[in-house]
Amino acid sequence: MCLLVVSGRTNNNERSKMKELIKDVKSHAFRNYKYAGWDDVVDYYSDDDLFDIIEEARATTLAGAVEAVRRAAGAGSFESVACW
């Protein structure tokens, strides 16, 4: 696991929220490992990769973050996998 480096543009509250989103997206990926693409997220995407994807998408909710990562990784559709 790599050290999450959050840019100076974010405040403490935003950093905390981003860390939580990354943790939750990773949990989602683990739960959906057997579905197309989510195994790649688990096996190959670092926290920094997830941060970049989520930040670029400007996702602020778990659903938005999962969707952004799904699109970036080519993973199974949000509707077709086990959520929460």
Query: H or E stretch including 47?
Result: helix 47-57
Task: Give the pair of three-digit tokens for residue 69.
Answer: 């990562």
Q: What is the pLDDT of residue 5?
A: 46
pTM of the model: 0.76
Distance separating alpha carbons of residues 33 and 42, to the nearest angstrom: 7
Query: What is the block-wise mean pLDDT of the chain (84 residues), using blocks of 10 residues?
Result: 48 91 97 91 96 96 96 70 47
Q: What is the pLDDT of residue 40?
A: 94
Q: What is the pLDDT of residue 3?
A: 42
Q: What is the pLDDT of residue 37?
A: 86
| Backbone conformation region of residue 5, classed left if phi is above 0, alpha if psi is from -120 to 50, else beta | beta
